[in-house]
Amino acid sequence: MAFLVTGGCGFIGSNFVRLLRRAEPRQRVVNLDALTYAGNPANLSDLENDSSYQFVHGDISDRPLVDRVLSEHSIEAVFHFAAESHVDRSILDSGPFIRTNVLGTQTLLDASRAAKVRRFVHVSTDEVYGSLGEEGFFSETTPLAPNSPYAASKASSDMLVRACHHTHGFDTVITRCSNNYGPYQFPEKLIPLVISNIEAGLPIPVYGNGLQVRDWIHVADHAAGVLAAFRNGKAGEAYNFGGRCEKTNISLVKTLLNLMGKPETLIRHVADRPGHDRRYAIDCSKAERELGWQVRVDFSKGLADTVGWYRANPGWVETIRSGDYRRYYQSQYGHRGV
């Protein structure tokens, strides 16, 4: 018997695989990852000699491959992280988002049901709920109202998972988390982008007025939430996770500049993201009550540690400075970046 993690070479997946090896040392872990631009096997290089961990290079949309992985490894539970995850890229081209997030999830779900997997944990996002005004929080009963192609693809996958439970009685649990930060996050996302631009002496692009609000959670707390949902969640349910840590983008950028000893004159207000969601804030009381989960990482400490991690691992960002990421940065920001 083994656990299957999809997208384990990405940011959250790699942090989750590491947690799983610590928390369930007797379970074998298989990581199925297509190694897109965001997947980096080096994120799990510390597990190279771990005989209970195995990497399989492949796509979740490849049904024969998924069938083989599920049966060869007698997969008992699936933790589904694999996705196209960046909103700005979904605005440039939604095709890969539909292929992986919708069709890939459908393939993985159907194959998992056919293979009689005991539980399927679908890792989703708070972005499926749309945007909040000044007040209120997303709860699990908030209607889904996705605003970006990324969010629409994730909401579609949530619906497929929900329908699979309702129609076939398949044991599924959905997790919906707010904005993660921490080690191994791809530098297209706000926090690592700001850190790596500061390190490279580049300007910091802030979309629009920077007054949009995100609820930040350390990746270790999200990973612990996914595991708690697997262990204690009720079949067919969704659970929200958030950091109870709302920040405007502009205040977060200023905090990082301050932390890294750089002036606020590096800030550049650039064209806003089309359809930019104003505010996300999560009510995670259901997860606290029913899963025994709670946020553990203090934001100031988590952020300082994250800056420390990027500073201690310049080679990691350096490797990502591939032709592909350069091209994306140029088309997104109009100048050469990291």
How many whole angstroms separate alpha carbon 126 and alpha carbon 338? 29
| CB of 25 or CB of 66, closer to ligand NAD | 66
| One of 17, 33, 75, 111 touching ligand NAD (CB under 6 A) | 33
Total binding residues toward ligand DAU, as defined by CB under 6 A: 19
Q: Locate all alpha helices (DSSP H) within 138-278, ordered by sequence.
A: 149-168, 190-199, 219-232, 249-259
Do residues 189 and 205 lie in contact, with contact meaning Cβ atoms separated by under 8 Å? Answer: no
Question: Is 129 in the active site?
Answer: no
Give the interface segment with ligand DAU, choosing from 41-49, 61-69, 121-129, 314-322 (CB under 6 A). Answer: 121-129
Please, which of residues 91-110 interact with ligand NAD by CB under 6 A? 100, 104
Output the CA angle 197-315-261, nearest 5 degrees: 35
How many whole angstroms separate alpha carbon 13 and alpha carbon 170? 23
| CB of 146 or CB of 337, closer to ligand NAD | 146
| CB of 12 or CB of 338, closer to ligand NAD | 12
- Identity of the residue numbered 190: L
C-beta neighbour count of 118 within 10 angstroms: 12
Give the interface segment with ligand DAU, choosing from 57-65, 98-106, 122-130, 139-147 (CB under 6 A). Answer: 122-130
Asked if residue 82 binds ligand NAD (CB under 6 A), the reply is: yes
Question: Is 150 in the active site?
Answer: yes
How many whole angstroms separate alpha carbon 282 and alpha carbon 159? 20
| Backbone CA torsion sign across 333, 131, 210, 36 | negative
| One of 90, 125, 306, 332 touching ligand NAD (CB under 6 A) | 125
Question: Is 37 in the active site?
Answer: no
| CB of 55 or CB of 333, closer to ligand NAD | 55
Q: Which of 127, 188, 215, 221 is catalytic?
A: 127
Asked if residue 193 binds ligand DAU (CB under 6 A), the reply is: yes
Q: Report the interhelical angle of 249-259 vs 299-312 (nearest 10°).
A: 60
Please, which of residues 217-256 interact with ligand DAU by CB under 6 A? 249
Give the interface segment with ligand NAD, choosing from 22-30, 44-52, 55-63, 260-268 (CB under 6 A). Answer: 55-63
Q: Which does 193 bind (CB under 5 to 8 A by kind): ligand DAU, ligand NAD, none?
A: ligand DAU
C-beta neighbour count of 116 within 10 angstroms: 10
C-beta neighbour count of 175 within 10 angstroms: 27
Residue 222 CB, nearest distance to ligand DAU (Å)? Answer: 10
Record the tokens describing residue 135, joined without a space: 């007040």
How many whole angstroms separate alpha carbon 273 and alpha carbon 114? 41
Residue 259 CB, nearest distance to ligand NAD (Å)? Answer: 20
| One of 184, 280, 325, 328 touching ligand DAU (CB under 6 A) | 280
Look at the chain and count its residues: 338
Do residues 302 and 259 lie in contact, with contact meaning Cβ atoms separated by under 8 Å? Answer: no
Do residues 29 and 79 lie in contact, with contact meaning Cβ atoms separated by under 8 Å? Answer: no
Do residues 2 and 27 lie in contact, with contact meaning Cβ atoms separated by under 8 Å? Answer: yes
**Which residues are annotated as catalytic?**
126-127, 150
Chain residues binding ligand NAD by CB under 6 A are 6-7, 9-13, 32-36, 38-39, 59-61, 81-83, 85, 100, 104, 123, 125, 154, 177, 179-180, 186
Chain residues binding ligand DAU by CB under 6 A are 85-87, 125-127, 178-179, 189-190, 193, 205-207, 212, 214, 249, 273, 280
